[in-house]
Amino acid sequence: MFKEWVQATPPPAWVLEPLVRECGLHPLVAGILHRRGYETPEDVHRFLQVKLAGLRNPFELRHMAEAVQIVIDALKSARRIVILGDYDVDGITGTTLLLEFFEACGCKNLDFFIPNRLEHGYGLTAKSAEVLLSMNPEVVITVDNGITAAAEVEQLQASGITTVITDHHLPGAELSGGIVVNPNHPECPYPFKKLSGCGVALKLALGVRKVLREQGWWTTDRPEPNLLDSMDLAALGTIADVVPLVDENRIMVQFGLQVMNSKPRLGVTAMRSLRKTDKVVARTVGFQFAPLLNASGRLKDASLGVELLRCQDDESARIIVAELNRTNEERRSVEAEMREAAFRIAATQRDRHSFVIANPEFHEGVNGIVAARLVDRYHKPTIILSQNGDSLKGSARSIPELHVKQALESCADLLDRFGGHAAAAGCSLSLARLDEFSARFEAFCRATLPELPTPKLEIEGALDDSAISDQLVEQLEWLQPFGEGNPEPFFVVQAPDHEFQTMKERHVKWKLNGSVDIIGWNLAEAFEQQPPSQLAVTLGFNEYRGRRSVQMLIQEVQA
């Protein structure tokens, strides 16, 4: 879809001068950081000098002290603990993190359960509760779910099971009772609300470790675990769940990526080998690792992802990754069919401000991906629903201008269940209510957005070859990891007026004034049909045969 290019207004030189002088920043980089809210040298130093000490005290989270005490009592009395995870990467990694940590604490009576998306539904449902009861737990700890499961928590507690909810989703009107560790709980004073589910699980582990240290639990035979080794899991979950890569999330991801590059677990090594990945960056996780780990939870059993991350031998890891890759290819095929069907339906509803598309042939595990594809094409809030008998289950994706969970709340009386965040949510309802729900959802979207917004592409500034230097590119790399809340900076350059070079008949390459390479992947055909006048690019280094050079990658074009 057409994007409006919005070029940032540079702050006055006198505003940037302290950042340039005291932090040694290139003026362009100083301007980027200032526009992102890092306005003083102290702000910039905190952002750039990532330290583990920047992680907040876990006991600032509501109910953390109570949750920690429950875990410690269970450890010391050998009570049976069962972890209830979620079937996405955030839930898989959080489950793995707590399993490994509790084992390091000496817990022997431990198990986990990740619901099957199709059989049990998301999180702590009535069907999931039945499975949990059959596992005879004395303590249940949820990861990345449970904030709205009030009835199910009550059921577990009535059966004598102590329940601890760890979650990060926005609460609904009815909150789970008991012990709830969630930065988004309305009574939680924790200042950073954007932790992932795995991030909350890490906080629980940090809290338990601290108290056990004070109690003298750690010995030569039971050494204190180094939770830095678990940062790879926190990074995987944080990036995959598309939470903002700022504040504590930036710390977890920065250190987690270091772990994945310096001493990767066997499952990560197997994924790197499959994808022929050299250096792991945030984009590697988001576009290569996350789809693999998500694949089993979308179509089959997410426990395979936990098995991969806990794998202790190379051959088993390779076998699991190969199976995940086959499942992911199957997911791609299913997605392609669903996407084309959804596009055909959407094309007949161009006058709507939203899409609510249901199809009995749609696979529930792929609804969210297809919804995201429609949002990318049409820039409209979208819900894709699959059908099972008289029931519908769907995934919603939205645009920055509309809070989709609030939109679902406006239809709460029509829904059996719903939950999520501003940009992504899920819901279920009866088929008989579909038309009314679609009309109500559309009405909310029209009331919120009387005029449909045009998607915007933020441009940090215009470049020519005289502005490009190794220093600039090196300092842009300081801003990594890039992702949600910390996007990679885009710059605009004029397309060279000389002929571009075609590589392998698909890609294009220019030299900017004979010095800097400009690369466009899979753009040859489009450029031959309509040569561009302006290019939106990102800057980076290309390393080849021991030589390093600056290059631009084309991300968007204007004719």
DSSP per position, 325-383: HHHHHHHHHHHHHHHHHHHHHHHT-TT-SSEEEEETT--GGGHHHHHHHHHHHH-S-EE
Q: What CATH number should be reported for the domain holding residue 421?
A: 3.10.310.30
Is there a single domain that holds both residue 18 and residue 93? no
Q: What CATH number should be reported for the domain holding residue 21?
A: 2.40.50.460
Is there a single domain that holds both residue 245 and residue 102? yes
β-pair type (507-512, 501-503): antiparallel
Residue 278's pLDDT is 87
Model confidence, pTM:
0.93
Is the CB of residue 408 less than 8 Å from the CB of residue 418? yes
Q: Of the residues 230, 263, 296, which one is the last residue of a structural domain?
A: 263
Residue 358 sits in which domain range?
Answer: 349-448
3-state secondary structure of 279: coil
Tens-digit pLDDT profile for residues 532-546: 899 999 999 988 777
β-pair type (139-142, 81-84): parallel
d(CA 18, CA 224) in angstroms, rounded, equals 43
d(CA 338, CA 340) in angstroms, rounded, equals 6
Residue 59's pLDDT is 99
Write out the DSSP string of 296-327.
Answer: HHHHS-THHHHHHHT--SHHHHHHHHHHHHHH
d(CA 114, CA 309) in angstroms, rounded, equals 14
Kindly report the number of other CB atoms within 10 A of residue 421's CB atom. 19
The answer as to whether 481 is a domain residue is: yes
Residue 209, H or E segment: helix 197-214
Closest CA to 127 of 136, 137, 117, 142: 117
Question: Who's near 74: CB < 8 A, 6+ residues apart?
Answer: 80, 81, 107, 138, 139, 162
CA distances from 17 to 13, 28, 77, 556 (A): 6, 12, 60, 31
Above 70 in pLDDT, residue 126? Answer: yes
Q: What CATH number should be reported for the domain holding residue 98?
A: 3.90.1640.30
The answer as to whether 256 is a domain residue is: yes
Residue 58's pLDDT is 99
- pLDDT (mean) for 256-269: 98
Find how far residue 357's CA is from the centre of its chain: 24
Closest CA to 212 of 69, 79, 80: 69
- The DSSP secondary-structure symbol of 532 reads -
Q: What is the mean pLDDT of the chain?
A: 95
Tens-digit pLDDT profile for residues 57-66: 999 999 999 9
Is there a single domain that holds both residue 376 and residue 485? no
The answer as to whether 289 is a domain residue is: no
Structure tokens at 66: 């109570």
Is the CB of residue 557 less than 8 Å from the CB of residue 535? yes
- pLDDT (mean) for 335-358: 97
d(CA 436, CA 442) in angstroms, rounded, equals 10
3-state secondary structure of 290: helix
The answer as to whether 148 is a domain residue is: yes
Tens-digit pLDDT profile for residues 11-26: 999 999 999 999 999 9
Above 90 in pLDDT, residue 384? Answer: yes
Burial of 10 (0-12, 13-18, 19+ CB in 10 A): middle
Is there a single domain that holds both residue 394 and residue 462? no
Above 90 in pLDDT, residue 424? Answer: yes
Question: Who's near 69: CB < 8 A, 6+ residues apart?
Answer: 211
Is there a single domain that holds both residue 216 and residue 90? yes
The answer as to whether 338 is a domain residue is: no
Tens-digit pLDDT profile for residues 190-215: 999 999 999 999 999 999 999 999 99
Above 80 in pLDDT, residue 90? Answer: yes
Q: Of the residues 448, 482, 508, which one is the last residue of a structural domain?
A: 448
Residue 162's pLDDT is 97
The phi and psi torsions of 482 (rounded to 5 degrees) equal -90, 150
Is there a single domain that holds both residue 228 and residue 88? yes
Is there a single domain that holds both residue 473 and residue 535? yes
Structure tokens at 543: 């390393």
Is there a single domain that holds both residue 441 and residue 482? no
Question: Who's near 395: CB < 8 A, 6+ residues apart?
Answer: 367, 368, 371, 383, 384, 424, 425, 426
When divided into structural domains, the chain yields a total of 3
Is there a single domain that holds both residue 208 and residue 150? yes
Kindly report the number of other CB atoms within 10 A of residue 513's CB atom. 11
Tens-digit pLDDT profile for residues 25-59: 999 999 999 999 999 999 999 999 999 999 999 99
- The DSSP secondary-structure symbol of 285 reads I
β-pair type (534-544, 547-558): antiparallel
The answer as to whether 517 is a domain residue is: yes
Is there a single domain that holds both residue 147 and residue 42? no
Above 80 in pLDDT, residue 270? Answer: yes
Is there a single domain that holds both residue 90 and residue 154? yes
**Angle in degrees, 0-180, between the axes of helices 197-214 and 89-104, rounded to the nearest 10:** 10
Residue 1's pLDDT is 66
The answer as to whether 487 is a domain residue is: yes
The answer as to whether 327 is a domain residue is: no
Q: Where are the beta strands (DSSP E) in 244-284?
A: none
Is there a single domain that holds both residue 428 and residue 407? yes
Q: Of the residues 210, 232, 263, which one is the last residue of a structural domain?
A: 263
pLDDT class of 497 with cuts at 50, 70, 90: confident
Residues of the chain with pLDDT > 90, as a percent, come to 88
pLDDT class of 172 with cuts at 50, 70, 90: confident
Residue 15's pLDDT is 94
Is the CB of residue 94 less than 8 Å from the CB of residue 84? no
Residue 489's pLDDT is 97
